[in-house]
Structure 1
Amino acid sequence: MEPLGPRQTSSGRHESAEERADRRWNELLQEVRVTQTGVQILFGFLLTVVFTPRFATLSQADKNIYVTTVLLGAATTGALIGPVTLHRLVTGHRIKPETVTWASRLTVAGIVLLLVTMTSALLLILRVAMHNSAVPWAVAGLVGWFLLCWFALPTWARHRYPLRE
């Protein structure tokens, strides 16, 4: 039998539902670790802004954007910590495949919230830094980039390379 080429696949992994759930859980944890680190840094920074002297000089619109950004950051943090809490509270109930499914959904929700949080943070920072009409265009360009990297490319890959059984 010849070895498989780079685009070929075997008939799949020979793993039980529990082994598959364990593997998927470990993969999910690695993904959550990456996003959690960025969210924690962003959220920590956001929490300190209100205590700087410059905050008092912001316009009401900028303060509203700030409050919205902090609330979105908190929601993002909750969604990305949710899978860990879910796993911890249902451990031993023998529902690992279901736990992985729900944890994956929470992670996707957290990524969507992260997109909105970063959009809001960029809007605030660029409004304060640039004070001009280019801000919405710069933010829109970056949001487009995030959408391409985070959603369009994976969607394209799923369509281009369908699930192989």
Structure 2
Amino acid sequence: MEAYRPDRHETPLERDDRNFAELLQELRVIQTGVQILFAFLLTLAFTPRFPELDDVQRGTYVTTLLLSALSALLFTTPAVVHRVLFRRGAKRRVVEVSARLAAAGLAVLGLSLTGAVLLVVDFVLGRGVGIVAGAATFTACVALWAVLPWQVRRAHARTRRGSQAP
């Protein structure tokens, strides 16, 4: 949740509206990728080579399919929450809940991407390379979606503190 900033000259309700609009725009960007991943996984089971998967690959497939379905649900739930609470004066709560759903969706999406990469690389190049590729994908998700924003946030906080010093 964004801190109050009087320099924006907006009311708390205007800020909530803006925050929700920004969150929805972020979800629109993410949703396309989730839909493509989910569609790929759905169709994979109907390909001629699917029966060649071993038990580990089938387990990875089912787990990844379920994770991608869960991430799609998490990313679409903010729209449902908004619709159910529309015109009930709960915009701040909608924004708070939606932000948490988006964060959970990103975590699950990271696992989905990891599983998809693991599955494909395992099938094409072998289990060892698949595990390495999956681990690299997971590491990239953590680095780009958690560590980098945390570092940018810390640097921004230091800069703000430094500019406020006498």
TM-score (norm 2): 0.88
Cα shift at 1:11: 5.6
- The C-alpha deviation readout for 1:42-100, integer Å capped at 9, x for no partner, is 00110001111111111111111101111101100100001111111100110101110
The DSSP-based 3-state class of the residue aligned with 1:81 is helix
CA–CA distance in structure 2, aligned partners of residues 46 and 22 of structure 1:
35
RMSD: 1.8
* 2:107 maps to amino acid: V
* 1:114 maps to amino acid: L
Q: Please tell me whether residue 49 in structure 1 is matched to residue 34 in structure 2.
A: no
Q: Please tell me whether residue 74 in structure 1 is matched to residue 103 in structure 2.
A: no
User: 1:1-165, aligned counterparts within 5 Å?
Assistant: 12-162=7-157
Cα shift at 1:160: 1.4
CA–CA distance in structure 2, aligned partners of residues 62 and 145 of structure 1:
22
Cα shift at 1:14: 1.4
Alignment coverage as a number of residue pairs: 156
Note the residue ranges of structure 2 that are not aligned, 5 or more in a row.
none
**Bigger CA drift: 16-25 or 146-155?**
146-155
TM-score (norm 1): 0.89
* 2:98 maps to amino acid: A
Provide the identity percentage. 38
* 1:128 maps to amino acid: F
* 2:110 maps to amino acid: L
